Amino acid sequence: MSVRNVISRGMTLARSVFQTCFGKPAVRVAAKVRGEGFRVGPPVHTVQPRTFLPSHYRHYRTSLSGLAAQLHSGSFRRMFGSPRNRAVFLAFGLGVGLIEQQLEDDRRSTAACQEIQALFSKKTFQNPLKHFTSGYKLEDYVIGKQIGKGCNAAVYEAAASFAVPRESRTSSLVRMKLGSDDRQEDDRELRNCSVTDYPLAVKMMWNIGPGSSSDSILSAMSHELVPAGPLALKERNGAAVVDGYFGDVPRRVSAHPNVITLYRAFTAEVPLLPGAKEEYPDVLPTRLNPAGLGRNHTLFLVMKNYPCTLGQFLEDSLPCARTGSLMVLQLLEGVDHLCRHGIAHRDLKSDNILLEFDSGGNPRLVITDFGCCLAERDCELKLPFNSRWVNRGGNSALMAPEIATAIAGPSVVIDYSKADAWAVGAISYEIFGQPNPFYGRNGLDSSRYQEWQLPPLPHYMLTDTQVVVKLLLRRNPKKRPSARVAANMLHLSLWGAQSLADRDIGSTKEMADWLLCRSAVALLTDRYPNGSTVEMELQKSFLSNVTLEELRTSIAFLLFGREKHMFQSGFA
């Protein structure tokens, strides 16, 4: 065999080894997505950058450089003096050099991701009450009309008494009822005006179970405090102080543009607010209604006043394809933020999502109402299900299949890590003008449905958004992307379409270059007066959480979903 043939065979062998281990990581993972054994687990964050060398070869990583040096040393050439042997080892040395280069690219790209994370994770969101030391009593607020009511609380518009609405700085605690002429005005214009005059909302919880003491109230309603800001509660030695009592608060979530923030939380005597005797007489205390079942004291939560809920907005509005995709992306970013804090909402629905508009007119979605959430400090999105009396939580219609089908047993544990992401997939139908497939008498049962039974999505939707929604509604959580991976897929679709179409972004270098470009755009746009738009908030959220491994997994899911969508469309 000639020396040329030996070198050729050696290079072919080295190239095949290199491609198997490193070539087109996204394509390799996409191939795994098609197999039954593919699983996308929660991200593993380690101090050292992770490389993508197969696990059974990684212990050779530190010696690759030394091996390459030995292959070129004079002693090695003397030991294996045959030209044929030297040619074989030369080809192998070239392959090792390629592997070492890929490892170096991975290390640099991982370091770049970590620097981008560190830069954008410093971005904070402002609390309008952070400069005030008051606001921990009901008397500190001017209460307006009722703007919402649920199964366990009523919500009223409000303003801080130290910043009374400009229309009446001598207003009493309770705003006077509107006259008949005012009621004839357009409801939406009145609501928008009300948000301006009363920028806050006060949520009064209905206390019919626990006692009137602050510690019993806090113990029973502590999950409502999960989105409480750092100054929402008076604290002492890490414990919440409410009217002098101490109580343990579950996990707390940091501020995020797509998660509600509680500005203040306190207990107070239940007042007689407008519409109370007509809307919720049974939960009033006996001093206000002799037939009432409520306690004298309850919990009050102060938050931003939003114009409407997502459900109210969708009653007479249909977002365009891009706006709808941005709305789905916001929900995924909010869910991912909760998951990173070890919190599962467990009651996601359009009525528990608030909505406002940014300076450009785009809807901004905010997840609210954490009364059913899983946020215990000793669990990581997992709930021991050892008895049928254990509460699975929330909305049974939008309960993910792995939650709905769980059977109680001594060693059964329910994993909620992808349950809220599944609910986002179901809500996406509503966002794009379709009935929620799991609602109504003829709706699907989340515990028994098959994926082929899901109704078709509107054709005007972006193809990649359809792909994401279909993947989110997979029954098997192992084949379902996490909220982070699904959000990355939409980020790539909305802002990396050209690079992904060319499949250049599958390489480590191109991926890092694209991330640096997005970072530069986000930083430059942030300097403009109108920079705090929904799109910029989404990109900052993405960049503050980006990891190389999750990004590669997202590319793999997206490529796989596109191929499957094209195949199904060809037979439609």
Looking at the annotation, which residues are catalytic?
A: 347
At residue 9, φ and ψ (nearest 5 deg) are -65, -40
Are 495 and 501 contacting, i.e. CB atoms less than 8 angstroms apart? Answer: no
Q: Which of 419, 382, 427, 380 is nearest to 399 (CA)?
A: 419
Residue-by-residue DSSP string for 283-314: GSBTTT-TT--B-SEEEEEEEE--SEEHHHHH
Q: Which of 482, 486, 520 is nearest to 112 (CA)?
A: 520
Long-range contacts of 437-440, Cβ-Cβ distance < 8 Å, separation of 24 or more? 438/397, 438/398, 439/397
Dist CA 89 CA 72 (whole Å): 9
Question: Both tokens of residue 34?
Answer: 């098609």
Dist CA 200 CA 278 (whole Å): 23
Biggest CA–CA distance in the chain, Å, is 104
Residue with tokens 């005007």: 460
At residue 540, φ and ψ (nearest 5 deg) are -65, -40
Dist CA 571 CA 365 (whole Å): 36
Dist CA 509 CA 106 (whole Å): 8
Looking at the DSSP bridge assignments, the partners of residue 353 are: 367
Cβ neighbours around 232 below 10 Å, total? 25
- Any residues with CB less than 8 A from the CB of 524 and at least 6 apart, and which? none
Three-state DSSP state, 360: coil
Q: What is the 3-state secondary structure (H, E, C) of 395-450?
A: CCCCCCHHHHCCCCCCCCEEECCCHHHHHHHHHHHHHCCCCCCCCCCCCCCCCCCC
At residue 415, φ and ψ (nearest 5 deg) are -100, 115
Parallel/antiparallel/unpaired status of strands 363-367 and 353-357? antiparallel
Dist CA 249 CA 231 (whole Å): 14
Question: Both tokens of residue 150?
Answer: 């649920």
Q: Cα separations (Å) of 365 from 5, 332, 520?
A: 63, 11, 25
